[in-house]
Chain A
Amino acid sequence: MMHSATDMAADPRARATRPEGTLVSDPDDGTELLEVSMGPHHPSTHGVFRMDVALDGEKVARLKPVFGYLHRNHEKLGEGNSYLASMPYTDRLDYICSLTNNWAYALAVEKLAGQEVPERAEYLRVIVGELTRVQNHALSVGFLLQDMGASGTPLMYGFREREKILDLFEALTGSRMMCNYMRFGGCRVDATPEWLDATRKVVAGLPGFADEFEALLCTNEILMARTQGVGILKPDLAVSAGITGPMLRASGVNYDIRKVDHYSIYDRFDFKVPLGDHGDVYDRFMIRLLELRQSIGILEQALKDIPGGPVMDPKAKIRNFRPKPGEAYGRIEAPKGELGFYLISDGGPNPYRYRVRPPSFVNLTVLEDMCLGHNVADVVLILGSVDIVLGEVDR
């Protein structure tokens, strides 16, 4: 009835772990593995995250990610809160991209309760969602370069652009990072014409930033030497391991939930899905820059077409919100991958089960497979190219 070990080894999708006890170097030369704990306070881990690494000389022979330092049982908190009260908590999952967290949760609850969203609210959601993607990608590329030793400059270029976008978020939602902007059936406040003009101004400046960023980085010799051919993720394994987002598309798998699920109003916009060839760190870096350009295109179209009208469905119930018994899984293409919420309602004011499907948590599954056989200095880059946020991994 059960599978055997041989069955798994024959499968190309199976894990790439070396058989127990095998070393990279000759076992007879009197060497043994050196076990190192990387983290939890290592600056490259982007938070409190640890890797149990076994090294054979300079090469990684085994790597086990250890996390949970930031665990506060977000899902249990969700079960104890009303549906709406969980909305500000979703900001704290991936705290770089609070607006896409809001969106995924709102989408799941709207599916659960069968609610409609007015057109203007959908446009606003797309605008803030794509702005979130731009600032996330600018930041993650900046941090990747920072990890590589390019201290400061690329990161500060990313931060400069992010600051402009965070100012827009603050003007619209009242908060730079913990936006708490979406509601079931729309958005909390409408955007003023002045805000839309300011956004158009920022978006008009973004292609220049993308040009500058690409000119600065893409053909940099050190970057290419450090990242090309490092941390290769094969498409078969990527699909099997449920990798999503830029990391999956860097491996050449064409799967973007904005195109697949046709959620919200993404059908109305003309944009392409960039794909990588090699699935290495360089491709993952490059995909983010290309996606950033596509997001700018979506923003330009959305800001041109945005209609008037209400931003909340007038029939939406705010108080005493009790969806009918049932369940729903809603997902969006968040900047880091598929962010899903699975909700079970028993007819009460709180969800019976509140599950978050975090993209960076699942994307970490293949960290070991990508790092095996590489130098320990490359582990830092490979982890940086996964783009994790521990608020979401640990929940």
Chain B
Amino acid sequence: MKTLEEIKAAIEAAVPGAGVEIVQNPGPAAQHSLRLQPGSAFEVAKFLRDDAELALNFLSNVTGVDWPDKEISEKVKVTRAVTKTVDGVEQTVEETVEETRKRVEPGYLEVVYHLFSMTQKHGPVILRMRTENRSDKVELPSMTPVWRSAEFQEREIFDLYGVVFRGHPDLRRILMWEGFKDHPMRRDYVEPDDYDYEPTAHDAVLAKAKAHQAAQQAAAEKGAAQ
């Protein structure tokens, strides 16, 4: 099979301005991947499927990954003018101080596609795409018109992660029920406290169960008083 660099070059020759990036995998598996731009991803996917040499006609696996906002604290050296009294005389001195600054790296949702070729019997070629953020700009192009196997798997990602696939023929929830709000596979998903705990609750579950029962009790007393 072509190396990833060659595939990248082939894509850029076929789809000008595709803006494909190679993402290195530092682990021992060394399965490196290609990051596509959502704007050109659909054209690139068609090329990968139809190119005679690559013939990646089998989309095996579609995975959603949640990368929440990350708070990064960095130590930065700052030089500033400080007024100081040196030997009884007031002077302006340049001073270098180390400061801890916090910045928030915005999170995103990622979708990973594992491609193989059933005719050439090679693979995997791994594609990834990112949404702009995790709240309102979560649209990505659907690959279902290129590979039918994405149909249910993209529905699953829509259901559990909330990625909206543009061009999907039937984008509905698949594992959770209709009318369910929220996306359970996101890292910041909070389980609703709406069930009674089993009598064997312990540790963290016991704490939750006590809080739940106290709330139930309070609600019942309030109801009785009225």
Contacts and interface: CB of A to CB of B under 8 A. Distances in A.
A73 interface: yes
Contact of B59 (A242, A328, A340, A342): A242
27 contacts: A3-B167, A15-B148, A68-B177, A75-B185, A76-B184, A114-B27, A239-B57, A240-B57, A240-B149, A241-B148, A241-B149, A242-B59, A242-B147, A242-B148, A243-B149, A325-B26, A329-B31, A329-B114, A340-B114, A344-B65, A355-B63, A357-B61, A362-B149, A362-B153, A364-B152, A365-B148, A395-B175
Interface of B: 25-29, 31, 39, 42-43, 57-61, 63, 65, 112, 114, 118, 121, 124, 126, 141, 145, 147-149, 151-153, 160, 166-167, 169, 174-177, 184-185
Interface of A is mostly: mixed
B44 to A, nearest CB: 12
A390 B42 CA distance: 32
B176 A355 contact: no
Contacts of B126: 329
B169 A68 contact: no
Contact of B118 (A1, A239, A355, A366): A239
A71 B26 CA distance: 33
Contacts of A283: none
Contacts of A323: 27
A255 B115 CA distance: 14
A73 B156 CA distance: 11
Contacts of B124: 329
A361 B152 contact: yes
B152 to A, nearest CB: 5
Contact of A73 (B61, B147, B149, B184): B184
Given A3-B42, A240-B147, A353-B63, A112 B27 contact: yes
Nearest to A395: B175
Contacts of A338: 60
A244 B148 CA distance: 13
Q: Which of B42, B175, B184, B185 has the most CB of A within 10 A?
A: B175
Interface in A353-376: 353, 355, 357, 361-362, 364-366
A356 B17 CA distance: 34
Given A2-B167, A3-B42, A239 B58 contact: yes
A260 B149 CA distance: 20
A7 to B, nearest CB: 7
A365 B175 contact: no
A2 B45 CA distance: 12
Nearest to B189: A76
Interface string A1-26: 11100011001011100000000000
B42 A2 contact: yes
Contacts of B112: 342
Contacts of B145: 3, 7-8, 11, 14
A100 to B, nearest CB: 17
A324 B28 contact: yes
B120 to A, nearest CB: 10
Nearest to B66: A353
Interface string A207-243: 0000000000000000000000000000001011111
B152 A365 contact: yes
A384 to B, nearest CB: 19
Given A73-B184, A255-B118, A111 B29 contact: yes
B13 to A, nearest CB: 19
Nearest to B27: A326
A244 B58 CA distance: 10
A362 B149 CA distance: 6
B60 A242 contact: yes
Contacts of B185: 73, 75-76
B117 to A, nearest CB: 10
A345 B27 contact: yes
A61 to B, nearest CB: 16
Contact of B169 (A15, A75, A327, A355): A15
Nearest to A70: B175
A316 B1 CA distance: 32
B111 to A, nearest CB: 11
A331 interface: yes
A36 B169 CA distance: 22
A112 B28 contact: yes
B29 A328 contact: yes
A271 interface: no
Interface in A371-395: 394-395
Given A76-B184, A340-B114, A361-B152, A68 B176 contact: yes
A113 B167 contact: no
Q: Which of A240, A242, A244, A345 has the most CB of B within 10 A?
A: A242
Nearest to A331: B60
A247 interface: no
B17 to A, nearest CB: 12
A321 interface: no
Instruction: Give the 6 A-B residue pairs with the shortest CB-CB distance, closest first.
Output: A326-B27, A242-B149, A114-B28, A328-B29, A241-B148, A68-B175
Contacts of A281: none
A255 B121 contact: yes
Contacts of A75: 160, 185
